[in-house]
């Protein structure tokens, strides 16, 4: 399968994850809360593992150390800026904390996030298909709990179910758009810098955005569950990297 098809397929699949929010319609909120935070912890471990074990090592093979970490820092900074200036967040903890005007900010922030994510993941595919698959898996692990949370926020904000699904899907499609933009740009530009940029993105979302979501419980049992889920995500990406190592 060609690189273009990998980018197209991965973008379409990632965009389709937006529809997973519909499962919130058949789950009790108590059940959703029980599974959501362990999923967030697993996603955090996957994102950090993807950056540490895949994208940063691959970048160091093709560009100077300081250049690599400069791009990592910029990727971190860009997503910090998105959260600061758009007040975008996932609202995983409590849907009741989110108000109706925030639903539009969530969709706007999520659309920008998905576009930049598609740009980054496609850049990784352009460098190495196996690296792209690992990065996509880590990003997908994050998208599942995010979309569950976002859909719940839209419903809580007064949106009709079909409207919420449609706009969540449209927001998800910006991932595919970002991937196609990166592919088109690769004919004129060197896109290797997108790999460490994506690593910075992954590190920010995993460590600064998701970990605090699962780091608030005072229950030892709950904290242990979240730790194990985080370690499982980290271990999965380490195992993929170790299996592909020469």
Q: pTM of the predicted model, to two decimals?
A: 0.78
Contact 178, 126 (CB under 8 A): no
Which residues neighbour 54 within 8 Å (Cβ) at sequence distance 6 or greater? 131, 134, 135, 138, 237, 240, 241
Residue 61 has pLDDT above 70, yes or no: yes
Q: Per-residue confidence at 91, pLDDT binned at 50, 70, 90?
A: very low
Q: Per-residue confidence at 29, pLDDT binned at 50, 70, 90?
A: low
Residues listed for the chain? 246
Q: List the domain range (segments joined by +) for residue 27.
A: 3-244
Q: Per-residue confidence at 183, pLDDT binned at 50, 70, 90?
A: very high
Q: What is the pLDDT of residues 216-233, one digit of tens each?
A: 888 889 899 999 999 999
Residue 31 has pLDDT above 80, yes or no: no
* Among the listed residues 2, 1, 10, the one whose alpha carbon sits nearest the alpha carbon of residue 198: 10
Of 1-5, 20-24, 112-116, 162-166, which has the strongest mean pLDDT? 1-5
Higher pLDDT, 104 or 177: 177
Q: What is the pLDDT of residues 190-216, one digit of tens each?
A: 888 989 998 998 899 888 888 888 888
- In the prediction, which pLDDT does 231 show? 95
Residue 59 has pLDDT above 70, yes or no: yes
Residue 52 has pLDDT above 90, yes or no: yes
d(CA 121, CA 195): 8
Total structural domains in the chain? 1
- Average of pLDDT values for 92-107? 55
177: Cα separation from own chain's centroid? 16
Q: What is the mean pLDDT of the chain?
A: 83
């Amino acid at each position: 399968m060609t690189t273009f098809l990998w980018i197209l397929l991965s973008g379409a699949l990632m965009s389709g994850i937006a529809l997973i929010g519909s499962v919130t319609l058949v789950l009790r909120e108590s059940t959703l809360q029980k599974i959501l935070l362990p999923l967030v912890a697993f996603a955090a471990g996957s994102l950090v593992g993807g950056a540490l074990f895949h994208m940063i090592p691959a970048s160091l093979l093709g560009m100077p150390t300081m250049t690599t970490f400069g791009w990592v820092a910029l990727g971190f900074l860009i997503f910090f800026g998105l959260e600061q200036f758009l007040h975008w967040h996932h609202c995983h903890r409590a849907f009741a904390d989110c108000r109706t005007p925030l639903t539009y900010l969530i969709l706007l922030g999520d659309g920008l996030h998905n576009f930049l994510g598609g740009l980054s993941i496609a850049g990784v595919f352009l460098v190495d298909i196996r690296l792209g698959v690992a990065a996509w898996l880590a990003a997908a692990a994050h998208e599942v709990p995010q979309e569950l949370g976002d859909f719940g926020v839209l419903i809580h904000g007064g949106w009709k179910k079909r409207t919420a699904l449609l706009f969540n899907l449209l927001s998800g499609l910006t991932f595919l758009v970002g991937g196609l933009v990166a592919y088109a740009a690769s004919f004129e530009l060197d896109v290797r810098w997108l790999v460490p940029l994506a690593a910075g993105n992954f590190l920010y979302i995993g460590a600064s955005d998701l970990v605090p979501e699962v780091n608030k419980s005072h229950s030892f049992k709950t904290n242990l569950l979240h730790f194990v889920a985080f370690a499982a995500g980290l271990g999965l990406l380490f195992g993929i990297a170790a299996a592909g190592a020469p």
